[in-house]
Amino acid sequence: MKRLLSLFLAAGLLVSACALTDEDMRFSRTVILYSQGDYIDTDILSEFTLETGIEVKYVVAGDGNDIAPDECDLLLGDLDCVSLLADAGCIQALDAEQFSPWGTIDAQWLELGGLEAYAVPCLWTTMGLVYDPTRTELRVTQWADLADAAFAGQVLMPADAGQLTAVGLAALELDVNSQSAGELAAAGLWLEGQSSLVLDYCDEGDMADWFRSGDAVLAVCPASAAIELMAELPELSFVIPSGGSWQSVLCYAVAADTEKVDATYALLNYLCEAENLAKNAAYSGWSVTSSRAYSLLSPSWRSNPLAYPELDGIAETPLLTARDSRTQSFALLDTLVNFRRTVLNASTAGMENAW
């Protein structure tokens, strides 16, 4: 919104409220909601507009839009995204007088590694492994299986630096939120050694193509993505490794310089009502941070072991909050991706020479 305001000032387009046109009034009642992925049922947004008269422009990252996260009024993103925006001063501390549904969110989700004042946790998922048992005789049970030479060239790893680092730590049975330089270095070495087996470092959207083509056999995959993947490819299996796992969470955050504070908080409050939290959980395949919302889900969702694994003991599985090693993690991911591309290019060149 800062860039938008500076453009208005530069062009001398500031006008008094009495001079606003109908189009200006419509824009002044439009809230921009930016999401890292398509996690929101747009029917909810339509219902919000009908009830309040406030329009919502829903922007999903990667959909070819030209709006950046720091140009929105309300954001839905993971902790890394929220942390980066908080560090840059792009989101504001939540106004307790404006935000009302804190009682809807379960207490166990309210510790967010220092971001509690900025973020409203709404959806969560558990990280695990998805594999094709029809294409391997091995039984996948642990993170270390990602380094089994039997899966050479058939393994998918996350393209997210924080998740990748967590995989390396988990494979060594270390705390996924570790900030120890020695343990992070050990995880980096494990990931480097394992990289020769990797088919691709990719996001969730690319996994289906790799499994559909038969190239991938084993992948690091959040349960939320596995639900959709296994609906299309029912031969696949999902497992939470025996050594444990971690949760990732999506949070709402309010832009620091939104000019539509009341309208933005009205939308945030609406999205965090139990009924709407439940609708978005069912729509996205993610799990919900509210017991009240959980009780509103259909029995099939509540009993889905991918969405709600071992629900009674879920608090024992840590939330991935470590972000201090982000720079190191991104450098490691870049190195591994470049290494894979070098190997692929060399392999392709060899095939061309053979022809």
Cα–Cα dist 312/299, whole Å: 16
Q: Quick one: pLDDT at residue 27?
A: 44
* 244 vs 147 pLDDT, higher one: 147
| Alpha carbon distance 102, 265 (integer Å) | 13
Which pLDDT tens digit goes with each residue over 15-34? 222 233 444 444 458 999 99
Which residues are bridge partners to 288 per DSSP?
A: 123
**DSSP secondary structure string for all residues of 216-234:** -SEEEEEHHHHHHHHHH-T
pLDDT band at 292 (very low <50, low <70, confident <90, very high): very high
Q: Does the pLDDT at position 325 exceed 80?
A: no
* Dist. CA 91–CA 69, nearest whole Å: 10
* Average pLDDT value for residue range 290-310: 91
* Terminal Cα distance for the chain, rounded: 55
Averaged pLDDT score across all residues of the chain: 83
pLDDT at 192 over 80: yes
* Paired strand residues for 237: 131
Closest CA to 289 of 297, 301, 281: 281
Task: Quickly tell me which residue has 């470590």 as its tokens.
Answer: 322
DSSP state of 318: P
For residue 81, the model assigns a pLDDT of 86
Q: Is the pLDDT of residue 346 over 60?
A: no
> Ranked by mean pLDDT, which of 111-115, 263-267, 344-348 comes out on top?
263-267
Instruction: Report which DSSP code applies to 195.
Output: G
Q: Please write the tens of the pLDDT for every residue from 242-279.
A: 888 999 999 999 999 999 999 999 999 999 999 999 99
The predicted model gives 55-83 an average pLDDT of 84
Residue 114 tokens read as 């220092």
pLDDT band at 332 (very low <50, low <70, confident <90, very high): low
